[in-house]
Amino acid sequence: MAGFNHKLVVVLCGALLAVTGLAAMAETRQAQCIDCHVESVDPSIKRLARTVHGNLPGDDNASCISCHGASEAHMQEPVKISPDVSFGPNWPSGPELRSASCLGCHEERSQVLWTGSAHQQENLACDTCHSAHEPKDLALDTREAEQLCLSCHPRVRAEMNLPSRHPISEGKTACSDCHNPHGGLGESGLHQLTVNDNCLSCHQEKRGPFLWEHPPATEDCALCHRPHGSVHDRLLTARGPALCQQCHAAAFHPSLPYGSEGLPGGAPNQNLLGKNCLNCHSQVHGSNHPSGARLTR
């Protein structure tokens, strides 16, 4: 019994049924549905039999009514009245109702934060991404899912094709490595609470504590990096000295126009024109060197 969508069934059938009667009831209903929705007329029914839902053990089996509701009225007047929960194509129910039918069995695991997530608030429903009747649920295929995401997120598509990028198109990272499409506790539906926790889950060598911290790196990697892609090397938000000068405009040694005049030591240094601050301050993420206070080693 555990798998049945009790709430929905009970609401829809009324409190008439004793719990013990449900399984039998469900089976009869399922049979009734299939009486009309014969496989020959409706090939998606046949495909359903090859899905996870069509093959759950025993009483957990997802019958027609566990997703579509008991649909008494529909059975009386099938051409006029929709089933209690329809995912379309003719009379689709609203997104809340459609998702509620899935959530009856999927309130846990990665779906636990669905309510309140950006996607829920934007009126997406479970079936926007998942196809319950199809043996191959495209959302569970990383590459197919990515295309699905990008169809609604064109800006990300543009970003991930920039010269410097996380290797998403290359198949080394996927949207779902970083995002939970069902919603997260922190910002941007990330699996982790903060952007830094997200980055550090893969780039552990950037995790401190360092003897000499660089405050922005401890605070938010996104102060200097874009997560999807950038026109600047290393996913940086800005190029060369400009990046550093957003915060260090008044650095004690004048750095514009990257001449050597004001630098400690003062010797002309061609490198300054090109590679900038990092020539000397190479440890921008923090330093463990005893004399790395200036992040130079």
Write the DSSP symbol of residue 164: E
Using the rule CB under 6 A, give the single segment among 9-17, 20-28, 271-279 that binds ligand HEC. 271-279
Q: Which stretch binds ligand HEC (CB under 6 A): 9-17, 19-27, 87-95?
A: 87-95
Does 177 sit near ligand HEC (CB under 6 A)? yes
Residues 243, 223: Cα–Cα separation, whole Å: 9
Least CB distance to ligand HEC at residue 6 (A):
10
Question: How many chain residues interact with ligand HEC (CB under 6 A)?
Answer: 145
**Each residue of 26-38: b (16+ CB within 10 Å) or e?**
beebbeebeeeee
Is there binding between residue 145 and ligand HEC (CB under 6 A)?
Answer: yes
91 binds ligand HEC (CB under 6 A): yes
9 near ligand HEC, rule: CB under 6 A: no
Amino acid at residue number 84: D
Q: Which is nearer to ligand HEC, 4 or 18 (CB)?
A: 4
Token digits of residue 235: 């996913």
Q: Are 114 and 183 in contact (CB under 8 A)?
A: yes
Q: Does 152 bind ligand HEC (CB under 6 A)?
A: yes
Stretch that binds ligand HEC, among 9-17, 20-28, 155-163 (CB under 6 A): 155-163
Judged by CB under 6 A, the chain residues 45 through 74 that form the site for ligand HEC are 45, 48, 52-53, 56, 60, 62, 64-68, 71, 74
CA 164/CA 224 separation, integer angstroms: 14
Shortest distance in whole angstroms from residue 141 CB to ligand HEC? 9
Are residues 88 and 79 in contact, defined by beta-carbon separation less than 8 angstroms?
A: no
223 touches ligand HEC (CB under 6 A): yes
Examine residue 196 and tell whether it contacts ligand HEC (CB under 6 A). Answer: yes
Residues 207, 142: contact at Cβ < 8 Å? no
Should residue 34 be labelled a site residue for ligand HEC when binding is judged by CB under 6 A? yes
- Taking CB under 6 A as the criterion, the residue among 15, 252, 268, 270 binding ligand HEC is 252
Q: What is the DSSP string of 8-30?
A: HHHHHH-TTS-GGGHHHHHHHHH
Min separation Cβ 15 and ligand HEC, Å? 19
Name 202's Cβ contacts closer than 8 Å, sequence gap at least 6. 173, 177
Hey, which residues between 102 and 131 contact ligand HEC (CB under 6 A)?
102-106, 109-111, 114, 118-119, 122, 124, 126-131
Q: Is residue 6 a contact point for ligand HEC (CB under 6 A)?
A: no
202 is a site residue for ligand HEC (CB under 6 A): yes
Angle between the 6-13 and 95-103 helix axes, to the nearest 10 degrees?
120
Question: Which two structure tokens, joined as six digits, stand for 83?
Answer: 């089933």
Give the Cα separation of 41 and 39 in Å (integer).
5
Asked, as a colleague might, if the bond just before 92 is cis with ω within 30 of 0, I would say: no
Minimum CB separation of residue 18 from ligand HEC in Å reads: 19
Q: Which of 22, 25, 232, 281 binds ligand HEC (CB under 6 A)?
A: 281
Q: According to the binding rule CB under 6 A, does residue 295 interact with ligand HEC?
A: yes
Shortest distance (Å) from residue 285 CB to ligand HEC? 5
Q: Are 64 and 6 in contact (CB under 8 A)?
A: no
| Residue 176 near residue 142 (C-beta atoms within 8 A) | yes
